[in-house]
Structure 1
Amino acid sequence: MTAATEPQELLVKLLDPANRPNPYPVYRQILDRSPMLIPESTLHVMSSFADCDEVLRHPDSCSDRLKSTAAQRAVEAGEQPRPFGTPGFLFLDPPDHTRLRKLVSKAFSPRVVKALEPDITTMVDDLLDKAAQTSEFDAIEQLAHPLPVAVICRLLGVPIEDEAQFSSASTVLAQGLDPFATFTGEPQGLEERLKAGMWLRGYLRDLLERRRAAPRDDLMSGLIAVEESGDQLTEEEIVATCNLLLIAGHETTVNLIANAILAMLRHREHWTALSADRDLAPNIIEETLRYDPPVQLVSRVAGADMQIGETRIPKGDIMMLLLAAAHRDPELTERPNDFDPTRNPIRHLAFGHGPHFCLGAPLARMEAAVALTAVTRRFPHARLAAEPIYKPHVTLRGMARLDVAV
């Protein structure tokens, strides 16, 4: 392996399905070489906590990939940079990002989140009642997945009976966040993602028409009312926003709940402690977000020439931030590879920083707290029944199955 090819070969290792159950040794190798530059891709890979933190906070960091040199080259070559149309606001910059986020943020206010807690508690209890009928249950299928799906459907106004269809599309689209093209130059599954993306947007447009005819007390109906009042909101923006929230609103929370369950089952003292003291839940959640984050990497584009640490980033270059590596940076915390909810402080970048800080963070934390306190209390002697099975996702790395013996 030559010095010139080694960085890219390390990155390709992250894409190898064999490393999905435990990518952290690869992240450590990359962290040891951070930051890394892939010149032909105008790509800078940041994996130290300090660098990732600085990029997320920097005023010249952009989320719109169209501002990258690579995207502009693709446009010049005649490629369609946005095959699905208008992107969700997560992938936009001010002023559009600011305008759309402000409209959506009301649905995730502390008052709304707090009001959801009794219903979420009832949902969790009902799910665990069913799980308790057998000696073993799949914590993904019977708890971590159905809970956030039901919550986001309720908030948006999406019929829960359609869950199987949009969850299937969501799984395919989540793979579109994986950096196959960035790391290898070869996109994977593009045709399948296009099909899933077009289907989901068509589904949401149909649902939008139904909500126009019969509005309800949900976010989609609220966004329609804003559009009809002439407040600079288009139908495509409503569809893109609902599409983003439907996918991001459950994929990441599923991973958070499941990753916490797995970590505690592998470190039984914390399962036992939480079953006896619900006040430990916040630390369990924050340490899970650090130790095994639901979102393993994000990217930004340099909107101007930037200086990050000792690295100069030219305008238009892409910065790939390996959050999962940054969270295990020895400069951040002692014993970074240990799951230790008693550490103080617990610092992480799982919800980002700056204007793109995760809108759903309070809701995700609350859902996880209710689910984790309930499952440990209901099954104080639970144990891992089999090694988990992981989905193919790299960015939104998570489990497809997690068997728990009760």
Structure 2
Amino acid sequence: MSVITTAQSPVKFNPFAPGFREDPYTTYKQLRQHNPIHNTLDMWVITKYQDIIQVLNSDAVSVNYIPQYVVQQKVGDIPGLVELGKKAIVFTDPPDHGRLRRLAGQAFSNTNINAHTAHVQQLITELVTPQIHSESFDFAQIAHQIPLYTLSHLLGVPQEYIQPIDEYIHRVRSILEPSLLTKMRIRRIEQDLQSCLAIFQEIIDYRKTHLGGDLLSKLIQARVGEDQLSDSELGIACVMTYVAGHETSKGLLTNGVLAFIQHPEQWQIFRQGKATAKQVINEILRFDPPLQQTVRLAVSDLQIGSETIHKGEKMLLCLASANRDEAQFANADTFDITRDAATQIAFGHGIHNCLGQMIARLEGQLLFTYLCEQVQEMRLATDNYRWHPEGFITRTLTNLPVTFTPADSTI
């Protein structure tokens, strides 16, 4: 996609422009070069790495914009969404955020998550192995199942609840896309959220007397002094684990497979042992992150570059653009798994960096390591893969038809 820039009409962020969904990176690059901070669509759009880092580190911004926006729509009684805005880590500011994160962090530790590595590996093997010799299959379906069943296992969700939770969360997830939040959709989200919370309350009640090695049991047991998570906070933590962790993990897996298909030389570099699985995941997250943007609200005036952002103004931070910033990453538009991409910010930065990112990283590292051992070549079965048609905060594939060539006995 090309955007003409003149002195009279500088390029502006427009996610509704033809071709943007298929290729947002051309626009991001032009914005970084010609209009890195600008006000459009009733928000400040910020595209450069260091500017975004400054905002994410600032005490002058709030993450509570979406809950405020929902309440301002005045759609009637929405107690679930009001509670979500007050008690979800992703929507809370200090000091509430620090309290919730200290408690939840006891469960979402690397040690607790890594304890489930063998189960996640078995899940990936069971889901992927039957497809390796298929003539073609939709990898997006596999990528949907891996995080769904991983998160369900980690939280100790009984099998009979997984499908209804998946259906409810699919609709609740649109709370992260302000552009989609019509009054009718907000009401539907409230209904689905209440249904989902009711399921989790049943699971919580059971877990309190049947503690195990799952993360929900760890959340129930988490303590800071006498403080602990309430039932409401436990339920919201479970909901948000799926809301924040499912679609993004699916995007990491599908976007990664597509990147390797489009850059087959990088797949061979990985198979030759010239890059680690950790490097691969960091580069996928840098090159084509599932979470493209995040929103902040100014709670006091702040200076970003040459612009003053005033209290009450909204900021759209283009994380995907920051990850392609040439000032931070050499040859930023090149997919290169041998680079050090550890400073990518696909999972955010600062106090609100994603608490559950270790889960997504574990899924990604195990999947691509397994594919590296089992698959010699990946290619598109057809060219009609599609990006999700709604919203622009996330960028994930709805389908990805692929064909795998099984690996030989030796690499």
The 8 Å contact of residues 296 and 322 in structure 1, kept in 2 or not, is answered as yes
Q: Indicate the residue corresponding to 2:396 in structure 1.
A: 398
Q: Indicate the residue corresponding to 2:328 in structure 1.
A: 332
Shift of 1:51: 1.0
Shift of 1:108: 2.4
- Point out the structure with the larger helix share: 1
Tell me how large the CA RMSD over aligned residues is: 3.2
The 8 Å contact of residues 274 and 373 in structure 1, kept in 2 or not, is answered as no
1:132-281 paired onto structure 2 within 5 Å: 132-142=132-142, 144-180=143-179, 189-212=185-208, 214-225=210-221, 231-277=227-273, 279-281=275-277
Separation in structure 1 between the aligned mates of residue 297 and residue 78 of structure 2, nearest angstrom:
15
Q: Indicate the residue corresponding to 1:101 in structure 2.
A: 101
1:257-336 paired onto structure 2 within 5 Å: 257-277=253-273, 279-336=275-332
The 8 Å contact of residues 64 and 92 in structure 2, kept in 1 or not, is answered as yes
The 8 Å contact of residues 37 and 45 in structure 1, kept in 2 or not, is answered as yes
TM-score (norm. length: structure 1):
0.85
The 8 Å contact of residues 274 and 377 in structure 1, kept in 2 or not, is answered as no
Separation in structure 2 between the aligned mates of residue 389 and residue 368 of structure 1, nearest angstrom:
21
Separation in structure 2 between the aligned mates of residue 279 and residue 341 of structure 1, nearest angstrom:
6
Matched length? 393
- Alignment match of 1:382 (pick from 375, 378, 387): 378
Cα pair distance change 1:197/1:329, threshold 3 Å: same
Q: Indicate the residue corresponding to 1:33 in structure 2.
A: 35
The 8 Å contact of residues 108 and 215 in structure 2, kept in 1 or not, is answered as no
Cα pair distance change 1:216/1:110, threshold 3 Å: closer
* 1:265-318 Cα deviation digits (max 9, x unpaired): 110011122223284322221111111011110112223222222222222322
Cα pair distance change 1:29/1:133, threshold 3 Å: same
The 8 Å contact of residues 161 and 199 in structure 2, kept in 1 or not, is answered as no
- Amino acid corresponding to residue 115 of structure 1 in structure 2: A
Separation in structure 2 between the aligned mates of residue 374 and residue 317 of structure 1, nearest angstrom:
46
Shift of 1:261: 0.8
- Secondary structure of the residue aligned to 1:106 is helix
Separation in structure 2 between the aligned mates of residue 233 and residue 86 of structure 1, nearest angstrom:
14
Q: Indicate the residue corresponding to 2:409 in structure 1.
A: none
The 8 Å contact of residues 181 and 187 in structure 1, kept in 2 or not, is answered as no
Q: Indicate the residue corresponding to 1:125 in structure 2.
A: 125
Q: Indicate the residue corresponding to 2:15 in structure 1.
A: 14
* 1:345-377 Cα deviation digits (max 9, x unpaired): 553211211111211223322221110121132
- Indicate the larger mover: 338-347 or 296-305: 338-347
The 8 Å contact of residues 104 and 219 in structure 1, kept in 2 or not, is answered as no
Separation in structure 2 between the aligned mates of residue 180 and residue 19 of structure 1, nearest angstrom:
16
Q: Indicate the residue corresponding to 2:44 in structure 1.
A: 44
The 8 Å contact of residues 78 and 187 in structure 2, kept in 1 or not, is answered as no
Separation in structure 2 between the aligned mates of residue 81 and residue 196 of structure 1, nearest angstrom:
11
Shift of 1:165: 2.0
Cα pair distance change 1:21/1:171, threshold 3 Å: farther
Cα pair distance change 1:198/1:10, threshold 3 Å: farther
Cα pair distance change 1:331/1:237, threshold 3 Å: same
Shift of 1:255: 0.9
- Alignment match of 1:360 (pick from 356, 360, 385): 356
Cα pair distance change 1:363/1:222, threshold 3 Å: closer
Cα pair distance change 1:188/1:270, threshold 3 Å: farther
Shift of 1:335: 2.8
* 1:188-209 Cα deviation digits (max 9, x unpaired): 8434433322322232223333
Cα pair distance change 1:217/1:137, threshold 3 Å: same
* 1:67-122 Cα deviation digits (max 9, x unpaired): 97x789x38x7977876232211110122211111121122222223322222222
- Secondary structure of the residue aligned to 1:331 is coil
- Amino acid corresponding to residue 26 of structure 1 in structure 2: T
- Secondary structure of the residue aligned to 2:81 is coil
- Secondary structure of the residue aligned to 1:395 is coil
- Secondary structure of the residue aligned to 1:400 is strand
Separation in structure 1 between the aligned mates of residue 222 and residue 370 of structure 2, nearest angstrom:
39
- Secondary structure of the residue aligned to 2:15 is helix
Shift of 1:58: 1.5
Cα pair distance change 1:78/1:367, threshold 3 Å: closer
* 1:320-365 Cα deviation digits (max 9, x unpaired): 1011122222322333222122334553211211111211223322
TM-score (norm. length: structure 2):
0.84
The 8 Å contact of residues 175 and 394 in structure 1, kept in 2 or not, is answered as no
Ranges in structure 2 where 5+ consecutive residues have no aligned partner: 405-411
Shift of 1:57: 1.3
Separation in structure 1 between the aligned mates of residue 66 and residue 243 of structure 2, nearest angstrom:
22
- Secondary structure of the residue aligned to 2:116 is helix
Q: Indicate the residue corresponding to 1:349 in structure 2.
A: 345
- Indicate the larger mover: 259-268 or 186-195: 186-195
- Indicate the larger mover: 390-399 or 282-291: 390-399
- Indicate the larger mover: 89-98 or 271-280: 271-280
* Percentage identity across paired residues of the two chains: 28
The 8 Å contact of residues 71 and 81 in structure 1, kept in 2 or not, is answered as no
Cα pair distance change 1:80/1:25, threshold 3 Å: farther
